[in-house]
Amino acid sequence: MLIKTNHDGFCHPLSSEITPQRVYAGRRDLIKLMAGGVAGAALTAWALRAAHAQSASAMVRPGKLAALPSVKSSLAGAMTMEKLTDYKDASSYNNFYEFGTDKSDPVRNAPSLKTRPWSVEIEGLVKKPARYALEDLLKLSAQEERIYRLRCVEGWSMVIPWVGYSLSELIRRVEPLGSAKYVEFVTLADPKTMPFVGSRVLDWPYVEGLRMDEAMHPLTLLSFGMYGEVLPNQSGAPVRLVVPWKYGFKSGKSLVKIRFTDKQPDTAWNKAAASEYGFFSNVNPNVDHPRWSQASERRIGEDGLFARKRKTLMFNGYEAQVGQLYAGMDLKKFF
Ligand code: MTE
């Protein structure tokens, strides 16, 4: 990734860029969230949910964007109890190169993105190719809230309550052929609304890819929202991918095409620097980036001189869920 390096090799926010968000811990929100989470649950599950609801309630914002109601996911691994990243940080410290290469560019420049009308085309090796209008895609399956860690290849991470459903729900509907081995994700490249699409920083459109089993894994999320609201433009509105065990760049934003193929897709960052950004890009503390270590990370929001770095976890902490996908693979070779 074209990274502005400072003294320790990572691209860090200036503390002045990160303004802690006001905490909204209203009792009404807590009751509302708990009511959604506890009905019929066993006591231990209740305790977990209540604790989660408490942390989630601290993040509820006075609806700036349209609400996107969801149920809390019961999928193993889909919820972490870690403190959520402030909405303000998650929506103002972004990588979205179509809107500029600086972390503060997307929030400033992405209001020009037009997210309606929007459709996603499904093509390639499938029985049922289709063009889904966003409204139909939104209704295809129940929206869930999942609290995922997202770890950027640059060495920072966030914890975000995403809203969406497993990509596998969509994939099953379109019936991939047996010959489909990979899924390619193509994102919008509109020079009229995306000021940096004219630049040579990447080969546009931004393309990402997954192996079919990765795309079908229930943790792979097709996301339409975060923090209980529709996605802000800079976070990949109106629909993006979130693949929590891979470095953040695998999570393509503002998707327009999902293509099933028998060949490993040429992905944007792999094309830009193949020795630095492999196709798999699983979070792996044991495989360094050629220019820096991947053994630790900074959690956005935990700033300050004495803020400790966290150890980066294998597969970003999702090893129990996804480790099997890579059994027997040399992860140094297939990085
Ligand atoms: N998708 C598109 N279309 N364009 C991009 O530049 N950047 C990627 C990924 N998806 C990117 C993209 C990178 S490098 C990261 S780290 C994540 O989005 C950042 O997501 P966030 O801004 O929501 O944290």
**Residue bearing the CA closest to ligand 1, atom 2:** 253
pLDDT in tens, 175-187: 999 999 999 999 9
**pTM (two decimals):** 0.85
Q: Which two tokens stand for residue 232?
A: 């802000």
Residue 161 CA to residue 295 CA, distance in Å, equals: 25
| Whether residue 152 has its Cβ less than 6 Å from ligand 1 | yes
CA-97 nearest atom, ligand 1: 6
Centre of ligand 1 to C-alpha 318, Å, is 20
Asked if residue 119 has pLDDT above 50, the reply is yes
| Whether residue 294 has its Cβ less than 6 Å from ligand 1 | no
pLDDT in tens, 241-295: 999 999 999 999 999 999 999 999 999 999 999 999 999 999 999 999 999 999 9
| Whether residue 187 has its Cβ less than 6 Å from ligand 1 | yes
Centre of ligand 1 to C-alpha 11, Å, is 14
Residue 136 CA to residue 211 CA, distance in Å, equals: 25
Asked if residue 307 has pLDDT above 60, the reply is yes
Q: Which two tokens stand for residue 38?
A: 């506890």
CATH of 2-326, picked from 3.90.1170.50, 3.90.420.10, 3.30.1060.10, 3.30.450.20, is 3.90.420.10
Residue type at 151?
R
Centre of ligand 1 to C-alpha 239, Å, is 12
Centre of ligand 1 to C-alpha 112, Å, is 17
**Residues making up the chain, counted from first to last:** 335
Asked if residue 174 has pLDDT above 90, the reply is yes
Q: Which two tokens stand for residue 249?
A: 């760049």
Region 142-151: mean pLDDT is 98
Instruction: Report CA torsion sign: 167, 318, 278, 85.
Output: positive
**Residue bearing the CA closest to ligand 1, atom 19:** 95
CA-1 nearest atom, ligand 1: 14
pLDDT in tens, 11-70: 333 333 333 333 223 333 333 433 444 333 443 444 444 444 444 444 556 668 999 999
Domain ranges of the chain: 2-326
